[in-house]
Chains A and B, each alone.
Chain A
């Protein structure tokens, strides 16, 4: 957490309402997201109890397992859920567009991709486990299941794995998406409660965020957003209803009544969260989209298309554990994505960039001098290299020679010529002179400190002539930020092919061959 976010939390606590920590939206929100709220039976590894699911706020679908410990009912549940999830996924497999790929063959990509939204990170955990417990099943032989069950398992696993990629939006947890944009006046631990977090962001009328959050902690009014249920509900309501559904020797009418009572009780546990998730979606949609968001969603679409094609071509289920090469490649990919996602958010959003200005990785201020026609004559050919001077109150940790970029002028790079503290006697210290700021800039008395001056040499984005195209060089008085962050393409690591895995890493992993043990694995 940054100091700016911490300060926003302090402000939220004082003002009694959540404070923004972003000026734009950094998560993609689909036009018709599939909202999925799972409930699981307490104590079990992954025993689905119920799920409320749908892409239409007005008509949620409820699937209930009347005997959560019954294996057949679990697979029947998985098959029904598959009917909804797979139909949603397939509806995006329609028209493909051809996209040029950097340094490769043009690839086809679906026009859009499906998005699943769950209430909280534990909901993502549920999807991962449900994927794990269904993707190895078989539709033939002993313990055969509905053919859609293993397909569902593979898709859920895909969504869960993809959610680990920074900036990916195929599967979102509502609490995380909200907490990315608002600071509440409570702790991050309490933010995991969707009702409490929304209590801060969007308190009921006549209530402060604090009161809204406290009210939201009452499990009778706001049942937990799952997958865990309220223990009191389990003991007092759920247990007798499940027992009634399992009673033998009763008429069909009585059994039907028991089942419908159970469904009513579970629906009552789920509806409040259903409303909250849609409210969260509404709040997120109201924010303007960040500039680089569309490109990230394109990458999600690409991942969706390639996985759909992999499945179509008969690809095997995801392994239980990654092989050595796959794990290394995945880690490298996650690291690169993390770095570029952080840079993209900062370049898109001045309030996120402010975090970096506070730590000295970026700075901002007015242009105080500009030499737009300066030529670099040192080489064989003369080059247009304008100089600008920026005055800033921000702490500076960049050193001469560093290459920076301004979010406002992404096509232009700026090399630091000098950093100087301006003294009243020496206005506009000449480039190359002046005292260097130490690499670990220390804060002085912020208010009394005179602004530092940074001289930058610009290149690129000014046209081909020796005079800069109009508007391509910042003018005196313009306010700009510069940063060391970059989201430019980074080389990915080179890894051996799967069959060339070195002996230090266990040698080539065996090819996945579906085995009976996987398909008939106990799920109890």
Chain B
């Protein structure tokens, strides 16, 4: 067993090459759930490959930049929520958790005596949380910037959330501060969904940590507190989010990553995505060689990747001619036939198609007949 783990580690190290591994964060872990079937992404993420750099080298750079205005607004809002010993936040917690919180203590875990080393900070988070669980005080405690750790694909990943873990009556609540607005009780659905899955990552990491301390998962609530600006102001408002579904999805994804060895076994032993960076960080690996190595790991491109994966433009180019590149809905309507050319040949009758394509072929032929009837020669 130990050997197998070491083999896999060595294997992933070789795939990544000489560069230092990229670390996961809550956002990248959450992104794993958006296209779970993609082996290329799973391998690259498990090996800690710098996908952005790799994609640029292959001629498909992506821009996942963030505007400094958005960053500025996010920071300003967080500062406001936490100002005065989290006064605003306490008001919200009293209202939304319907708790009578006479007073709370506040622990900032941002640094430990000036030491910002991750291991030290994680140990301190652990120690403080352990002490909190042993205390029988009913008073709440806020933990700012705890440093959590989660096992992803057999490796520890440190998560440094901008969040506050709030402990009350033997339960921890994850509080997530986001700067998108809730207007008249409604917020952008996509942003809420993204916040929910990121919070679920923190719930999971917090549960892991408490499990190490011998506590049951129930000691972390599966409802998180989402704090956002209200309407057009900077005033915070809070809502409770149930993240049970997101936890299930994440658990399944992480379990899948644990089985990364079965994926890795299928790959050629000498495979590597090393860019041969020189001392100035300039890549020297020939593009053709690199590209053909990347292609050995199958991807499962879907247009949703454009929002979440640095490899998206490369994979989209590779998926030209596939119905999946037109979107899942289109692919389903075309009877899940994989290639555009096959679709069109089934439709014009020049290809009979396999037995399991008979129904799809009949519908496509009917569709093609109707199109040409309505459009004449232009169909």
Binding site for B on A (CB under 8 A): 1-11, 13-14, 20, 23, 41-46, 129, 132-133, 185-190, 210, 219, 229, 231-232, 234-235, 238-239, 320-321, 350-351, 354, 357-358, 364, 393-395, 443-447, 521-524
Whether the pair A232, B359 counts as a contact (CB closer than 8 A) is no
Q: Which of B10-18, B69-77, B93-101, B194-202 contacts A (4 or more CB under 8 A)?
A: B69-77
CA distance A321 to B18 in the complex (A): 57
Chain B residue with the shortest CB-CB distance to A522? B233
Whether the pair B321, A447 counts as a contact (CB closer than 8 A) is no
List 17 A–B pairs whose Cβ atoms lie within 8 Å, in order of A's numbering: A6-B334, A7-B334, A7-B368, A9-B330, A20-B378, A23-B374, A42-B70, A43-B69, A43-B179, A44-B73, A46-B232, A219-B63, A357-B370, A358-B370, A521-B232, A523-B232, A524-B233
Whether the pair A522, B231 counts as a contact (CB closer than 8 A) is yes
CA distance A238 to B343 in the complex (A): 47
* Tally of A-B Cβ pairs under 8 angstroms: 167
- Residues in B neighbouring A321, C-beta threshold 8 A: 184-185
Given known pairs A7-B347, A42-B67, A354-B370, the reply for A14 and B340 (CB within 8 Å) is yes
Given known pairs A14-B341, A23-B375, the reply for A186 and B334 (CB within 8 Å) is no
Given known pairs A45-B229, A132-B184, the reply for A186 and B67 (CB within 8 Å) is no
CA distance A7 to B235 in the complex (A): 50
CA distance A210 to B66 in the complex (A): 27
Whether the pair A4, B370 counts as a contact (CB closer than 8 A) is yes
Q: Which listed residue, B71, B325, B359, touches A443 by the CB 8 Å rule?
A: B359
- Residues in A neighbouring B359, C-beta threshold 8 A: 443
Chain B residue with the shortest CB-CB distance to A42? B67
Q: Which listed residue, A6, A20, A446, touches B375 by the CB 8 Å rule?
A: A20
Binding site for A on B (CB under 8 A): 63, 65-74, 179-181, 183-185, 229, 231-235, 303-304, 306-307, 320-321, 323, 325-327, 329-331, 333-334, 340-341, 343-344, 347, 349, 358-359, 361-371, 373-375, 378
With most chain A CB atoms within 10 A of its CB, the pick from B179, B349, B374 is B374
Minimum C-beta distance from A479 to chain B (A) = 9
- Residues in B neighbouring A9, C-beta threshold 8 A: 326, 330
Given known pairs A45-B229, A132-B183, A321-B185, the reply for A354 and B373 (CB within 8 Å) is yes
Whether the pair A235, B366 counts as a contact (CB closer than 8 A) is no
Whether the pair A446, B365 counts as a contact (CB closer than 8 A) is yes
- Residues in A neighbouring B371, C-beta threshold 8 A: 4, 7-8, 351, 354
CA distance A2 to B347 in the complex (A): 15
Whether the pair A10, B327 counts as a contact (CB closer than 8 A) is no
Chain B residue with the shortest CB-CB distance to A443? B362
Minimum C-beta distance from B262 to chain A (A) = 31
With most chain A CB atoms within 10 A of its CB, the pick from B72, B343, B366 is B366
CA distance A372 to B185 in the complex (A): 63
Given known pairs A23-B374, A231-B67, A351-B371, the reply for A13 and B321 (CB within 8 Å) is yes
